[in-house]
């Protein structure tokens, strides 16, 4: 059985999505069951450019969402309209929907989810928050046993890039923003990012999932990073903090009388020992605290064609898997019902495992050598004889009348490094090889 996908939009995310579906090898076997059935775009040229059959093209997006053959509509055009109308129309026609549209969901989840529930269809949105980072589904499925108390995230890549550069370079906001715009890390109109509005959309979506209620976006307190100065960053550093734009949603776990939720976006001094403090550049991370799980964090690329498409296709696969279960397909002649193909392990074969000597890795080797002229040279030659390239040979101390020498190699075949060590240990100037560790 194949599942017919109607793809609305072939921009960055749409292209990434199509590229996954066109190359199913070594992905989950269910990817092969997904068929790009119609692509809504302005012109068929974009389809040709990425190897899609131009016959799939249509400029009439409404024809896709009303097409009786389409099972799943993927909305990756962005913005509020016509996305909203198309999504509602798709739902009204019984299509499941996958969307990456955070602005749409943050503003119109009410009518969209009400319509979806009535129609009995899924609206999945992993790609709307955190790009490729699995966070929406883990909140729904993996942390569902918890009382969530805190949700905190670095969920806007542009502002994290700017703050990381201010931190590293000591520069001021305006200069680095300008540079970020030239490099493509910030939009020409940076308002949605630097004033925290994009992060507000995303925390509203996450909080809704974590705290089991809808969020009125207008009640999300929102401050951006325009006012952050180089001085603040320096002083914060002196006090043991880094400044990050955090989106925060919190609830005191009071069982007897529910207390209101806190939900806010603002620059925050984060202790350098906190897991969020080391999330730099365009990376995103979402930190969750719950009872009884404690503290967990999800880290990864918050944007980009590939990561976001990874999230879109995972949503499509989850719907396809559920449809298989719902349709009551059977796998076996005795009528055993089909299991969800994502949750049930389906592999029959053993993986071939490479023997350790075939592995390539970097090495750290610590050895003790007697003081003799040319010993470092001999060590280098010995590794060279076995095709082991060295990054460094350093004498780092003296112990028991020997020089402590540390060798770090480049990526080499483990078998070669082992042979070099056998040869090296025979050399009279080498007293001992005390550690052989691998380096990432």
Q: Give every CB contact of residue 413 below 8 A, 6+ residues apart in sequence.
A: 357, 358, 359, 360, 387
Closest CB to its own copies among 181 and 339? Answer: 339
Shortest Cβ 345–its own copies spacing (Å): 5
122 binds its own copies (CB under 8 A): yes
Near its own copies by CB under 8 A: residue from 93, 107, 226, 274: 274
Closest CB to its own copies among 82 and 304? Answer: 304
400 binds its own copies (CB under 8 A): no
Indicate the helix (H) or strand (E) that contains 106: helix 102-119
Q: What are phi and psi of 165, to 5 degrees?
A: -70, -40
**What is the per-residue DSSP string for 35-52?**
EEEEEE-S-THHHHHTT-
353 binds its own copies (CB under 8 A): yes
Closest CB to its own copies among 209 and 420? Answer: 209
Shortest Cβ 253–its own copies spacing (Å): 7
Cβ proximity of 175 and 167 under 8 Å: no
Strands 402-409 and 390-399: antiparallel
58 binds its own copies (CB under 8 A): no
Query: Which token pair is 266?
Result: 């603002």
Residues marked as catalytic: 202
**What is the per-residue DSSP string for 144-166?**
TTSEEEEEEEE--HHHHHHHHHH
- Residue 387, phi-psi category: left (phi > 0), alpha (psi -120 to 50), beta (remainder): left
Cβ proximity of 103 and 76 under 8 Å: no
Shortest Cβ 433–its own copies spacing (Å): 12
Q: Classify residue 352 by its DSSP letter.
A: P
Closest CB to its own copies among 137 and 179? Answer: 137
Near its own copies by CB under 8 A: residue from 169, 359, 384, 423: 359
Query: Which token pair is 76?
Result: 């990756």
Site for its own copies in 160-179 (CB under 8 A): none
Return d(Cα 289, Cα 275) in angstroms, integer.
12
Q: Classify residue 5 by its DSSP letter.
A: E
255 binds its own copies (CB under 8 A): yes
Near its own copies by CB under 8 A: residue from 269, 388, 393, 424: 269
Return d(Cα 112, Cα 109) in angstroms, integer.
5
395 binds its own copies (CB under 8 A): no
Near its own copies by CB under 8 A: residue from 92, 261, 390, 433: 261
180 binds its own copies (CB under 8 A): no
Near its own copies by CB under 8 A: residue from 211, 367, 369, 417: 211
Shortest Cβ 185–its own copies spacing (Å): 16
Site for its own copies in 408-437 (CB under 8 A): 408, 434-435, 437
Q: What residues are paired with 98 via a beta bridge?
A: 74, 124
364 binds its own copies (CB under 8 A): yes
Query: Residues 24-53: x/- map of binding to its own copies (CB under 8 A)?
Result: -xxxxxxx----------------------
Near its own copies by CB under 8 A: residue from 11, 51, 54, 337: 337
106 binds its own copies (CB under 8 A): no
Return d(Cα 198, Cα 379) in angstroms, integer.
56
Return d(Cα 322, Cα 98) in angstroms, integer.
14
CA angle 320, 324, 327 (to 5 degrees): 130
181 binds its own copies (CB under 8 A): no
354 binds its own copies (CB under 8 A): yes
Cβ proximity of 125 and 106 under 8 Å: no
Near its own copies by CB under 8 A: residue from 68, 184, 212, 373: 212
Site for its own copies in 288-317 (CB under 8 A): 290-301, 304-307, 309-311, 313-314, 316-317
Helix pair angle (157-169, 230-238), 10° resolution:
70
Mapped onto helix, strand or coil, the DSSP state of residue 336 is: coil
**142 HSE (CA, 13 A, CB side):** 12
270 binds its own copies (CB under 8 A): yes
Question: Considering just the CA atoms, what is the radius of gyration of the chain in Å?
Answer: 27
Return d(Cα 197, Cα 216) in angstroms, integer.
14
Shortest Cβ 99–its own copies spacing (Å): 13
241 binds its own copies (CB under 8 A): yes
Return d(Cα 427, Cα 413) in angstroms, integer.
22
Which span sits near its own copies by CB under 8 A: 37-45, 69-77, 85-93, 115-123? 115-123
Shortest Cβ 153–its own copies spacing (Å): 12
Near its own copies by CB under 8 A: residue from 33, 82, 93, 138: 138
Closest CB to its own copies among 192 and 406? Answer: 406
215 binds its own copies (CB under 8 A): yes
20 binds its own copies (CB under 8 A): yes
245 binds its own copies (CB under 8 A): no
- Which residue matches tokens 């001085």? 231
């Amino acid at each position: 059985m194949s599942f017919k996908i109607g793809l609305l939009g072939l921009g960055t995310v749409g292209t990434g999505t199509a590229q996954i579906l066109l190359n199913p090898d070594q992905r989950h076997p269910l990817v092969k069951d997904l068929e790009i059935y119609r692509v809504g775009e302005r012109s068929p040229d974009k389809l040709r450019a990425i190897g899609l059959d131009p016959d799939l093209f249509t400029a009439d997006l409404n024809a896709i969402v009303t097409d009786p053959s389409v099972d799943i509509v993927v909305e990756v055009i962005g913005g509020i309209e016509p996305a909203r109308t198309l999504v509602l129309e798709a739902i009204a026609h019984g299509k499941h929907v996958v969307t990456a549209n955070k602005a749409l969901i943050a503003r119109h989840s009410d009518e969209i989810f009400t319509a979806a529930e009535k129609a009995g269809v899924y609206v999945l949105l992993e790609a709307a928050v955190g790009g490729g980072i699995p966070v929406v589904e883990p909140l729904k499925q993996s942390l569902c046993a918890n009382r969530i108390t805190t949700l905190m995230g670095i969920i806007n890549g542009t502002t994290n890039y700017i703050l990381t550069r201010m931190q590293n370079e000591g520069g001021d906001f305006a200069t680095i923003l300008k540079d970020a715009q030239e490099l493509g890390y910030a939009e020409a109109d940076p308002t949605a990012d630097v004033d925290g509005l994009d992060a507000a959309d995303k925390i509203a979506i996450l909080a809704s999932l974590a705290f089991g209620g809808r969020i009125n976006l207008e009640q999300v307190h929102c401050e951006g990073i325009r006012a952050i100065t180089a001085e603040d960053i320096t002083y914060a550093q002196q006090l043991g903090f880094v400044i990050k734009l955090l989106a925060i949603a919190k609830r005191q776990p009071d069982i007897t009388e529910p207390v209101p939720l806190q939900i806010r976006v603002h620059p925050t001094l984060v202790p350098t020992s906190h897991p969020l403090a080391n999330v730099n550049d365009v990376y995103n991370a979402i930190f969750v605290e719950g009872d009884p799980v404690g503290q967990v964090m999800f880290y990864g690329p918050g944007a980009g064609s590939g990561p976001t498409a990874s999230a879109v296709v995972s949503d499509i696969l989850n719907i396809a898997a559920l449809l298989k279960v719902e349709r009551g397909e059977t796998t076996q002649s005795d009528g055993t019902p089909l299991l969800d193909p994502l949750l049930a392990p389906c592999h029959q074969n053993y993986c071939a495992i490479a023997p350790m000597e075939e592995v390539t890795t970097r090495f750290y080797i610590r050895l003790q050598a007697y003081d003799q002229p040319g010993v470092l040279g001999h060590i280098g030659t010995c590794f060279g004889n076995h095709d082991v390239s060295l990054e460094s040979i350093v004498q780092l101390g003296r112990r028991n009348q020997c020089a402590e020498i540390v060798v770090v190699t480049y990526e080499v075949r483990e078998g070669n490094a082992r042979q070099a060590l056998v040869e090296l240990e025979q050399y009279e100037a080498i007293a001992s090889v005390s550690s052989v560790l691998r380096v990432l």
